[in-house]
Amino acid sequence: MAPAKRQIGLFGGSFDPPHLGHVALVHAALALGLDEVWVIPALPVHRHLSGCADGFTRLGWLQRIFAAEPRVKVVDWEVTRQQPTPAVETLHRFRAEYQGLTPWLLLGADAWAGLESWREYPAHRMLCNVAVFARQGLENVPTHEGWQRVERSDACVTPGHWCFVDVTLPQVSATLVREYAEQGRSLMDWVPAVVCSDIEKNYAVMQE
C-alpha cells in the first residue's frame, strides 16, 4: 500500500500581533489530524499593517510562541520577499516545492467569507483545500461556488474541498489587542506569555 500523503496546514495571517486566538486555531488544526501546521506571517496585499512590528519581528515572535511544538513550522516565505505576497503565490510555491501534496489552507470564518475578493480568485480552488474555523461573533459561514464541502479534513487528496471546524476559539482579534495596548492595558489574557511584554512595548505607541 502506498504511504499516506502528508497533510500540511498553511496558516497565513498578518499576526499584527499574534494572539491566543491564533495559537488556539493552530492547536485545533493539529487536533484534526494534520501532520504539520506551517504558520506564515504575511505582508498582506489587501490591508495596511499597524507599523508597530515589521515582518521579521512578527516572525520572531511566532518562532518563540511555537518553539516547543515539533509539528508547527514558522515559515519566512512571505516576510523575506519584503513585499506584499498574495496567498495564491504562496500556494503556487508550495505546490512547486512539494509536488503531489495538496495543502490545507487554514482560515478563520471571517477570512473564508472574504475569499472571493482575494487576488486571482478562484485559482485557489485548484491549489488547496480549506479548513474553516468558527470565529465567535460570526455566525453565518458562506459557501462559495465550486468548492465541495466535506466533513473530515483527512478525506481528500485533490484540491477544491472545504470543511467547517466547529470549535470554540478565544474571542480575540489583533484589532482588540492593538486597542488594549494603546490604552496601556495588560495583554496577559490575550497574547502568549512568552511574547507578552514585547508586544505590550511595541504596540503601546499611539497608532494612526
Report whether 25 contacts 106 (CB < 8 A). yes
- Cβ proximity to ligand ATP: between 161 and 172 the closer is 172
User: Is there binding between residue 135 and ligand ATP (CB under 6 A)?
Assistant: yes
CB of 137 to ligand ATP, least distance (A): 9
Separation in Å, CA 47 to CA 17, 33, 178:
14, 32, 16
CA distances for 1 relative to 4, 5, 35, 116, angstroms: 9, 12, 19, 38
- Residue 196: how many other CB atoms lie within 10 Å: 16
Task: Using the minimum distance from each CB to ligand ATP, give the nearer residue, 138 or 157.
Answer: 138
Q: Is residue 16 involved in binding ligand ATP (CB under 6 A)?
A: yes
Q: Which grid coordinates belong to 139?
A: 455566525
By CB under 6 A, residue 191 contacts ligand ATP: no
- Which range binds ligand ATP by CB under 6 A, 31-39, 77-85, 105-113, 123-131? 105-113
Q: Closer CB to ligand ATP, residue 7 or residue 133?
A: 133
- Can you tell me whether residue 105 is helix, strand or coil? strand
Binding site for ligand ATP (CB under 6 A): 13-16, 21-22, 25, 107-108, 110-111, 133, 135, 169-170, 172-175
